[in-house]
Structure 1
Amino acid sequence: MSNPTFDSSHFLKHVTTQPGVYRMLDAEHQVIYVGKAKNLKNRLSSYFQKNLSSVKTKALVAQIANIEVTVTETETEALILENNLIKEYLPKYNILLRDDKSFPYILITDHKHPRLTMHRGKKRFKGEYFGPFPSAGAVGQSLRIMQKVFPVRQCEDGFYKARSRPCLQHQLKRCSAPCVEGYVSDEQYLEQVDLVKTFLAGKSQDVIDSLIAKMEKASEQLHFEDAAFYRDQITALRKVTEQNNVSGTIDEIDVLAFSQDKGLCTVHVLYIRDQKVLGSKNYSPTVPADSEPSEIITSFISQFYLNGIGGQNIPKTIIVPTLTEDLDELSEAISQIRNRKVELIKPQRGEKYKYYQLAQKNADIDLAMKLADGRAISSKYKELKEVLKLPKIERMECFDISHTFGEYPIASCVVFGPDGPQKSDYRRYNVKGVKGGDDYGAMEFALNKRYKNVKDAQNVPDILFIDGGKGQLNKAEAFFADWPLEKAPIIVGIAKGEGRKPGLETLYLNAGAVEIDLPATSMALHLIQHIRDESHRFAITGHRNKRNKAKTQSVLQDIPGVGGKRRQALLKNFGGLQGVLAAKIEDLAKVPGISKQLAQEIHGFLHDGD
């Protein structure tokens, strides 16, 4: 529902149909959202429809007190202006990409004997800068590689000026010792510096060709020591080049992949230059609740390249996730920044798709690490305490029941502490004496097994989660009705939402009298989902093991003359029941303790009616 103080119908009557940018402001005149449109009237009208499906859009529209528009000549101009305004206002309903670290460069200083070093920040020193690199680690790796190939100094100026004799780096053949007279001429040293510059420009083969020419010339002039030096340099450079080349033919490309779950997201950027994986970096945009994945990745690409966060070295090809929208506008805007054509491509096949798969794997791994990060767990605990109004949470337990149509029921109990799962405290219970499919009875059995002998309040959880609705919750509360200890857990039922989709769960307390619906982005809900999923995983694993063991034993148990030791020998020799079923009579007879006659009986029993 729109803000009653903003007359949307009057505004929409007079707004233009041209392309441009719009700024939505709240009652305090703060810019809360910036957007662009090919047709401003059509785009803005979509915000004020009666049936808005997006929760985020509903929340945004409810706060609109005014809308300002700026008309542009083209969609590309609108995209660039939109990006600049987002950077200026940092609206709370826009996807925001912040990166407070400047990218590192490799600097070759402007000295008599230039130094090779890493530089970050303003380019205040004279010299040539190469980069940017995705991380300090990538710079460090490049400097180590060049130290093995090119004997150019990397030492501090103070150290260089104070030398009276060569240091250890010279003895290791990693520096030609320009600090001390008589070891290398200025001409020879600057020759190596030029080779470093060519190498950093991504022209490794040109460096090798140049060194080959120098080696051949030195050999012709009978300067065999110099020829040997160039030969060793060529060998080292070829080795380094082979180690760093990727199996492909693409010279320069950026590859972006996107991963999102439980309110967190990661964009992984993979940099490939001169057929080498130069490095990669993970980014975590600030994302408003209920943002669509396509909106997140499209906004990221716009800000990443148009704001220079990705550095100045924009490649001619950028691989983007399939969810990316506005490819033509983004390509045109980035091309203007780069001053030459940039193509944005969605991966389909071949080399580019292989690179995209690699980037996607890294994005998924980074997101998994973020979800498991201790700081994230701490934030989740804090929010859960606020939701349930608890002063502290030291221990949480969750129960789940798993069975197949009532057979082989297993109950699980998982335990979480302030640092996450406490797997040493996990327990499984074989449910006995309960009618098949009676989940309430199975839950009562599990609770009794877990808590009947508890005498120390320290072993009582602060919160007991029950994976189920009001019925399961009532069973648990009935169990604790006559609880003898002073400390009793708060019991929370977790009912699955429509379609069993994550984020739609309802929490029940006090016999179902209290219902709590947390937003899908809630950190507390993510923690509850994690505990519930872990309980389910632990229960179903135990159930499958029990079911498989029972099936294996039931078939062999019924064979006359085959006891426990012989069953074990058969399973061990053939690697399981399937192997026993596939075995011939002569193979069965080779098992210790199985005669030929018994082998025939076993085979006949297993294949009766085949």
Structure 2
Amino acid sequence: MDLLRKKLSLLPEKPGVYLMKNAAGKIIYVGKAKVLKNRVRSYFTGSHDQKTQKLVSEITDFEYIVTSSEVEALLLECNLIKKYNPQYNIMLRDDKSYPYILITSEKHPRLIVTRQVQKKKGKYYGPYPNATAARETARLLNRLLPLRKCKQIPAKPCLYYHLGQCLGPCLHSITAEEYEEIIDKANQYLRGNQKSIISWLEEKMHAAASSLQFEAAREYRDLIADLHKISEKQNITLNDFKNRDIIAYFANEELLSIQIFCFRQGKLVTRDGFIFPYYAEPEEAFVTFLVQYYSEKAAIPDEICIPELNSSSVFDILPLVIPKRGKNRELINLAQANAQTVLEEKIKLEKDKKEEVNRTLEGLTEVLQIPKAEVIEAFDISSLAGTGVVGGMIQFQGGRPYRSNYRKFKIEPLANNNDDTAYLKHVIYRRYARLLKEDKPLPDLVLVDGGKGHVKAALEALQDLQIQLPVAGMVKDERHETRGLINNKGQEIDLTSKPEVFRLIQQIQEEVHRFAITFHRQQRLKNITASELDNIPGIGPKRKRLLLSTFQSLEQIKNASLAELTKAGLPQNTAEGVYNYFRKNN
């Protein structure tokens, strides 16, 4: 703490970026400041809300970088967040991947639909609301404009060349000037200028009709009709055909909610939403979000409409506009109302969910007469007629699966192969002996998949370790479905009056069974193939999977002909090795 105080006293009164570190020296938060001295000191003085207190409690050191301006600090902050991925910063993990139309920058350009946005590949248009809309537009433009369609230039002309839908770079060289007019027309259409394309097609249609080329005239007529159809499908809400994003935010004491309406060519095509905790002022967090969000985008719109800001630095980085009145101002208000509604809905849903979980866990503690059930560990044994025995353990925290704490147990055969309870006792002993050795916390409740015998085995294992933990068994009915619980006295507890507790026990029982049996199947498959296929030169894990997926069983692989092995995808010499191995060993 003395080091922190000394460093705080040395902070300059200049703009810059600060990096907060935890005890392990890991960067946990990156922030920017107009005045470093004031901003960094504010974390260690006065009172803070709960989330900021949590951040401050982990800070043991910090670094800072002085910049020449607030704009430079904003850009540096964005780059450092990307580099260090700090746990307390805004993480824009957006799993939505919208389709774009790309005009490639290749020597012979193509017009394609893609979700992979890489700035150097060419010019992107979008995003489109769905793949169908993007593909429909791309299909029409590819019919209309003779751009290259093939991924690789073929040795001889394809059908598109004969249909007049490709200039044929496979036949003769095409200059950049020849492509220029075609690319210009594609750009015009994708920027929203459909009228000029339709006028151009109408001229071609009339010229073809005048020359008595009625087939060509009919083709142009159909293209014009398709263009009108696509335009009608898209609901135009702004009449200036600009690419524009409308962004607004709403904040409570802990969370910031942001809504983005994406207009492309005057049409609302997508809506994005983000909710995350913030540790500075809401406006400051919003500005950081803007820079970070658009630094990931291949195509930045012509305008980004936002609410009023006190900070001016971000205006030097992005094409921001603050609408004062009119349709865009109304859309800002609408986005802000959406941000508030989404945030309030999220808070209410999480509150309801938390209350439901609390009621369920209280019900479970009540029926088992135990102090709490915040952390539950459940065990199951899986085998096939006493062979290939494995154990599985899952953990639930706060009524939800906590998969990083799931554990698998390989078990050596015991004297009585069919005694599930002996294997269960062995696994439980191993689990809690290790926790004791590593001085790690024990669970509040241990559940086992089984009845009285299984509960007794678990209690014996814990007794051997001199541990006292509540244990219960999850029993099934004759249809092998969850029936109820057996407490540590061997008494069955009826859960019909506690449906929420029954659902939780059912979920835990199904999950631990799934986890254990999946591990058993993996081990069994490995054991089945290990003694045979692993002995054959040239057969590694990948080729082993290929053979098993093609032939379904080891017996079928043994009986396969050389031609069948080659057809399955093995190289000739490897296929011969497999074929000869099984013939020699038979």
- Using structure 1 for the length normalisation, give the TM-score: 0.49
- Does the 8 Å CA contact 1:248/1:351 hold for their aligned counterparts? no
Q: Which residue of 2 aligns with 1:130?
A: 124
Q: Which residue of 2 aligns with 1:343?
A: 320
> Which of 440, 443, 459 is the equivalent residue of 2:497?
459
Q: What amino acid sits opposite 1:91 in the alignment?
A: P
- Measure how far apart 1:319 and its partner are: 1.8
Cα separation, partners in 2 of 1:103 and 1:5, compared to 1, 3 Å: farther
- Measure how far apart 1:262 and its partner are: 10
Q: Which residue of 2 aligns with 1:142?
A: 134
> Which of 33, 40, 44 is the equivalent residue of 1:44?
40
* Distance in 2 (alpha carbons) for counterparts of 1:383 and 1:301: 41
DSSP-derived class of the 1:52 partner: coil
Q: Does 1:24 align with 2:10?
A: no
- Measure how far apart 1:294 and its partner are: 3.5
* Distance in 1 (alpha carbons) for counterparts of 2:302 and 2:105: 30
Q: What amino acid sits opposite 1:343 in the alignment?
A: L
How do residues 178-577 of structure 1 correspond to structure 2 at under 5 angstroms?
179=159, 183-184=163-164, 186=166, 195-244=185-234, 245-249=236-240, 251-258=242-249, 266-285=257-276, 287=277, 293-305=282-294, 308-309=295-296, 311-321=297-307, 326=311, 328-334=312-318, 342-345=319-322, 347-360=323-336, 363=339, 377=353, 381=357, 385=361, 389-390=372-373, 458-460=496-498
After superposition, what is the alpha-carbon deviation per residue over 1:219-255, rounded to whole angstroms, capped at 9, x for unaligned?
Answer: 4444444334333433432343344222432512111
- Measure how far apart 1:186 and its partner are: 4.4
- Does the 8 Å CA contact 2:208/2:216 hold for their aligned counterparts? yes
DSSP-derived class of the 2:143 partner: coil
- Measure how far apart 1:11 and its partner are: 3.0
Cα separation, partners in 2 of 1:182 and 1:147, compared to 1, 3 Å: closer
Give 5+ residue unaligned stretches, structure 2. Answer: 170-178, 366-370, 377-398, 401-492, 502-586
After superposition, what is the alpha-carbon deviation per residue over 1:96-140, rounded to whole angstroms, capped at 9, x for unaligned?
Answer: 32346776432456999976432233759x975423x346x5343
Cα separation, partners in 2 of 1:149 and 1:378, compared to 1, 3 Å: farther
DSSP-derived class of the 1:389 partner: coil
- Does the 8 Å CA contact 1:22/1:68 hold for their aligned counterparts? yes
- Does the 8 Å CA contact 2:12/2:36 hold for their aligned counterparts? yes
- Does the 8 Å CA contact 1:149/1:236 hold for their aligned counterparts? no
Cα separation, partners in 2 of 1:38 and 1:315, compared to 1, 3 Å: same
- Measure how far apart 1:365 and its partner are: 6.7
Q: What amino acid sits opposite 2:331 in the alignment?
A: Y
Q: Which residue of 1 aligns with 2:422?
A: none
Q: What amino acid sits opposite 1:331 in the alignment?
A: F
> Which of 68, 79, 88 is the equivalent residue of 1:84?
79
- Does the 8 Å CA contact 1:79/1:333 hold for their aligned counterparts? no
Q: What amino acid sits opposite 1:329 in the alignment?
A: S
After superposition, what is the alpha-carbon deviation per residue over 1:391-445, rounded to whole angstroms, capped at 9, x for unaligned?
Answer: 799xxxxxxxxxxxxxxxxxxxxxxx99xxxxxxxxxxxxxxxxxxxxxxxxxxx
* Distance in 1 (alpha carbons) for counterparts of 2:142 and 2:121: 18
Cα separation, partners in 2 of 1:217 and 1:147, compared to 1, 3 Å: same
- Measure how far apart 1:141 and its partner are: 0.8
After superposition, what is the alpha-carbon deviation per residue over 1:255-280, rounded to whole angstroms, capped at 9, x for unaligned?
Answer: 12335679766533222232222433
DSSP-derived class of the 1:92 partner: coil
- Does the 8 Å CA contact 2:109/2:148 hold for their aligned counterparts? no
Cα separation, partners in 2 of 1:185 and 1:73, compared to 1, 3 Å: closer
Q: Which residue of 2 aligns with 1:65?
A: 60
DSSP-derived class of the 2:290 partner: helix
Q: Does 1:34 align with 2:14?
A: no
- Measure how far apart 1:81 and its partner are: 1.0
* Distance in 1 (alpha carbons) for counterparts of 2:358 and 2:150: 51
- Does the 8 Å CA contact 2:13/2:38 hold for their aligned counterparts? yes
Q: What amino acid sits opposite 2:24 in the alignment?
A: E
After superposition, what is the alpha-carbon deviation per residue over 1:338-384, rounded to whole angstroms, capped at 9, x for unaligned?
Answer: xxxx1242x54311123334544655676577668899949973898
Q: What amino acid sits opposite 2:291 in the alignment?
A: S
- Does the 8 Å CA contact 1:298/1:325 hold for their aligned counterparts? no
- Does the 8 Å CA contact 1:108/1:117 hold for their aligned counterparts? yes
- Does the 8 Å CA contact 2:242/2:302 hold for their aligned counterparts? no
**Larger RCO, structures 1/2 (Cα 8 Å, 6+ apart):** 1
- Measure how far apart 1:215 and its partner are: 3.0
Cα separation, partners in 2 of 1:261 and 1:46, compared to 1, 3 Å: closer
* Distance in 2 (alpha carbons) for counterparts of 1:185 and 1:67: 61
DSSP-derived class of the 2:23 partner: coil
After superposition, what is the alpha-carbon deviation per residue over 1:135-177, rounded to whole angstroms, capped at 9, x for unaligned?
Answer: 6x534312214435762699995999999xxxxxxxxxxxxx9
* Distance in 2 (alpha carbons) for counterparts of 1:117 and 1:149: 10
DSSP-derived class of the 2:317 partner: helix
Matched residues, number: 368
Cα separation, partners in 2 of 1:383 and 1:249, compared to 1, 3 Å: farther
Q: What amino acid sits opposite 1:314 in the alignment?
A: I
- Measure how far apart 1:39 and its partner are: 1.9
After superposition, what is the alpha-carbon deviation per residue over 1:12-31, rounded to whole angstroms, capped at 9, x for unaligned?
Answer: 43321122122222332222
DSSP-derived class of the 1:272 partner: strand
- Using structure 2 for the length normalisation, give the TM-score: 0.51
Q: Which residue of 2 aligns with 1:474?
A: none
- Does the 8 Å CA contact 1:18/1:71 hold for their aligned counterparts? yes
